[in-house]
A and B are shown apart, each in its own frame.
Chain A
Amino acid sequence: MTSLLFAQLGTPHRIQTPSVAWSGLLPVLVLLGGAVVLMVVGALLPRRSRHSWHLWLTLLIAAGSIGCAVPLWFRVRDHGPLSILRDAVRVDGLALFLGIVIVVGVMLAALLTDGYLRREELEGPEPYVLLMLSATGGLLMASANDLIVMFLGLEILSLAVYVLAGLHVRRLRSGEAAMKYFVLGGFSSAFFLYGIALAYGATGSTNLTDIQRFLATNTLTNNGLLLASFALLLVGFGFKVAAAPFHSWAPDVYEGSPSPVVSFMASAVKAAAFAGLIRVFVYAFALDRHDWQPIVYVVAVLTLLVGSVLAVVQTNVKRMLAYSSINHAGFVLVGVQAASDRGVRSALFYLATYTFMVAGSFGVVTIVGRRGDNRHQLDDYKGLARTEPLLAFAFLVFLLAQAGVPFTSGLWAKFYVIGAAVEARSFWLALVAMLSTVISAFLYLRIVLAMYGGADEADEAAPAVPRLRIPFAARIALVVSVVATIGFGLVPGPLTHASKTAVPKIAAGK
């Protein structure tokens, strides 16, 4: 029987099959395999258990994924990037750097999720499975060297997050957020895909290396198709990172989604989308940068202004943070717009530090939201400094870091980005970025004042509300985020060095 099988398999006229360097794909495979195992085992075992083994298994898998990525990092640093699956996937410094950022985003979100699920009586393995699957898509996106692989990564990433947004089944807002995110997300993915189709038509390939080579050796007589594809691809990416004309979903979805999921959306999803954006525009379309830089310039200006100005008029803290995350996306776009080594490096640094800041911020929001996840008004933060001084201090650190105050990682992130913009001679953009920092500082100060001031009213309200419960896992996430935010603020050297190592060479200008 077996010999027959092999006889059939071993017929001549073999197609030359690609040799797969599996080791290069290990971080993705560990995450994917872990998610599948957790899904099956979690479905066969009882859903509720006193030990949060879903969480610990997730952390273990994520740590395993990072553990596979670190040796690869050194290998790539010493021997150059790995090209896998006929150059459809490229494992280089950029992919590994942002890949680790994404997995860290998963770990922080998972730590926050555990307490949240128990509080809302939603126990089950699904959130963790979806977080890991989504991160798989993110890693794939970060290492994609083919537009179709990037599209698949984007879809894996997004589809899981749509479901995560609707995780809280008894909360109508959660379903509404999922619906909005899904419809607009599907809309933008369709634009992205159409952009790929046009790029394919214009250059004859979806492989980024081939596209780059084609554009370097040919001059298009009519580049309308290519310009249209730039615009469409930017719409797709702009939506995922919540950049200005395509940001309208973000406040609603952030407000309605479960808070731990929002921390994932604002950190890992953004990092993955920026990875794609940098790969496609800064690297593959490097020679046409004079065509796309003005568009990104305008988008960055709009994003910075919308994110900072509209944030100030909000009264819901989750919406405030949503607009502030739009503002931060604008900062990363400033780094992308520079289209230089320094710009990419600053964008990577920004994404890495922002992951800790935003995960921590939404961690605090998760805890203050209480059962039902509804207490997100500014008033709910009044007097937090007296009832929960440590929690208030953690939030203070994250808010000050987002404002770019010295001794926090936020300062360096903003400093590098603006430095890159100045180097690229985008002085006005740098000016707008600094202006938006000043405007959004108001917003952070409002929250800080609410926490540390407003004592007289809080005295009356205090006996009515029970003490906040801060789960152990969430404590870990908050402590890690605070340490990372202050640590990278005091000693930015290692991260700066890593982001410098991560940046691949950009093709020289025409």
Chain B
Amino acid sequence: MMLASTLGPTPYLVLGAVLFTVGAVGLLVRRNPLVMFMCIELMLNATNLTFVTFARQLDDVGGQVIVFFVLVVAAAEVVIGLGIIVGILRRRPGATADDLRLMKG
């Protein structure tokens, strides 16, 4: 609490932006589907941090409520992603994103 009031929102916003970038770069660089999912999670949670920071700065509870919804969406996304991976791995064990090259592009 003390820290928040003395530092102001900027460090939190910067941290959110940095985490978001780490996630975005990681998604483009890594080739393991599970790691790619984790990167998407990281991006969503970086956004959550940004929301909470703004909510505190604006003294508005709305931004915090949004975080709940985003968490649920993130969980749903993970489940769908895992389902897709399981579907693929059943047919072909040990697949990475580089193996998914039946179609050019």
Q: Do chains A and B touch in the complex (CB under 8 A)?
A: yes
Q: Residues of A with Cβ closer than 8 Å to B?
A: 148, 151-152, 155, 159, 162-163, 166, 169-170, 172-173, 175-180, 182-183, 186-187, 189-191, 193-194, 196-198, 200-201, 204-206, 248, 251-252, 255-256
A173-B62 contact given A155-B73, A162-B84, CB 8 Å threshold: no
Asked if B18 is an interface residue, CB under 8 A from chain A, the answer is: no
Interchain CA distance A194-B24 in the complex, whole Å: 12
> Can you list 20 A-B contacts with CB-CB less than 8 angstroms, sorted by A residue number?
A151-B70, A159-B80, A166-B84, A166-B87, A172-B91, A175-B84, A176-B88, A178-B87, A179-B88, A182-B80, A187-B24, A190-B20, A190-B43, A190-B44, A190-B47, A191-B43, A196-B47, A197-B16, A200-B63, A252-B104
Most buried by B among A186, A194, A204: A186
> Could you tell me if A194 and B102 are in contact, using CB atoms closer than 8 angstroms?
no
Q: Which residues of B contact A148 (CB under 8 A)?
A: 66, 69
> Could you tell me if A197 and B54 are in contact, using CB atoms closer than 8 angstroms?
yes
> Could you tell me if A169 and B27 are in contact, using CB atoms closer than 8 angstroms?
no
- Chain A contact surface mostly: helix
Nearest-neighbour CB distance to chain A for B39, whole angstroms, equals: 8
Residues of B41-95 contacting chain A, CB below 8 A: 43-44, 46-47, 50-51, 54, 57-58, 60, 62-63, 66, 69-70, 73, 76-77, 80-81, 83-85, 87-88, 91-92
> Could you tell me if B100 and A179 are in contact, using CB atoms closer than 8 angstroms?
yes
Q: Which residues of B contact A180 (CB under 8 A)?
A: 100
> Could you tell me if B69 and A152 are in contact, using CB atoms closer than 8 angstroms?
yes
A197-B47 contact given A175-B91, A176-B103, CB 8 Å threshold: yes
**Nearest A residue to B51, CB-CB:** A197
Q: Which residues of B contact A152 (CB under 8 A)?
A: 69, 73
The 7 closest A-B pairs by CB, nearest first: A190-B43, A186-B40, A201-B54, A175-B88, A197-B50, A176-B100, A252-B105
Interchain CA distance A54-B88 in the complex, whole Å: 27
Interchain CA distance A162-B73 in the complex, whole Å: 14
Picked from A189, A193, A198, A248, the residue with its CB within 8 Å of the CB of B105 is A248
Picked from A172, A182, A251, the residue with its CB within 8 Å of the CB of B81 is A182
> Could you tell me if A176 and B43 are in contact, using CB atoms closer than 8 angstroms?
no
> Could you tell me if B103 and A252 are in contact, using CB atoms closer than 8 angstroms?
yes
A183-B69 contact given A173-B103, A190-B20, CB 8 Å threshold: no
Q: Which residues of B contact A173 (CB under 8 A)?
A: 102-103
**Nearest A residue to B50, CB-CB:** A197
> Could you tell me if A200 and B51 are in contact, using CB atoms closer than 8 angstroms?
yes
A183-B36 contact given A166-B87, A256-B103, CB 8 Å threshold: yes
Q: Which residues of A contact B81 (CB under 8 A)?
A: 182-183, 186
Interchain CA distance A183-B36 in the complex, whole Å: 7
- Chain B contact surface mostly: helix
Picked from A177, A178, A194, the residue with its CB within 8 Å of the CB of B50 is A194
> Could you tell me if A255 and B103 are in contact, using CB atoms closer than 8 angstroms?
yes
> Could you tell me if B27 and A194 are in contact, using CB atoms closer than 8 angstroms?
no
A172-B50 contact given A152-B69, A190-B23, CB 8 Å threshold: no
Instruction: Render B1-24 as a binary contact track against A, CB cut-off 8 A, 1 for contact.
Output: 000000000000100100010011
Interchain CA distance A178-B81 in the complex, whole Å: 9
> Could you tell me if A204 and B60 are in contact, using CB atoms closer than 8 angstroms?
yes
Picked from A193, A206, A255, the residue with its CB within 8 Å of the CB of B62 is A206
> Could you tell me if A251 and B51 are in contact, using CB atoms closer than 8 angstroms?
no
Interchain CA distance A197-B13 in the complex, whole Å: 10
**Nearest B residue to A178, CB-CB:** B84
> Could you tell me if B85 and A179 are in contact, using CB atoms closer than 8 angstroms?
yes
**Nearest A residue to B52, CB-CB:** A197
**Nearest B residue to A207, CB-CB:** B62
Nearest-neighbour CB distance to chain A for B48, whole angstroms, equals: 8
Residues of B27-43 contacting chain A, CB below 8 A: 27, 33, 36-37, 40, 43
Interchain CA distance A151-B105 in the complex, whole Å: 28
Most buried by B among A152, A172, A248: A172
Q: Which residues of B contact A162 (CB under 8 A)?
A: 80, 84
Given A179-B33, A180-B100, A198-B50, 15 further pairs, Cβ under 8 A: A155-B77, A159-B76, A162-B84, A170-B91, A178-B87, A182-B80, A183-B36, A187-B43, A191-B43, A197-B16, A200-B54, A200-B58, A200-B62, A201-B50, A201-B57
> Could you tell me if B80 and A163 are in contact, using CB atoms closer than 8 angstroms?
yes
> Could you tell me if B76 and A155 are in contact, using CB atoms closer than 8 angstroms?
yes
Interchain CA distance A255-B103 in the complex, whole Å: 8
**Nearest A residue to B42, CB-CB:** A190
A183-B40 contact given A176-B100, A197-B54, CB 8 Å threshold: yes
Interchain CA distance A326-B91 in the complex, whole Å: 31
Nearest-neighbour CB distance to chain B for A240, whole angstroms, equals: 15
Q: Which residues of A contact B57 (CB under 8 A)?
A: 201
Q: Which residues of B contact A200 (CB under 8 A)?
A: 51, 54, 58, 62-63, 66
A190-B100 contact given A172-B92, A175-B84, CB 8 Å threshold: no
Q: Which residues of B contact A177 (CB under 8 A)?
A: 103
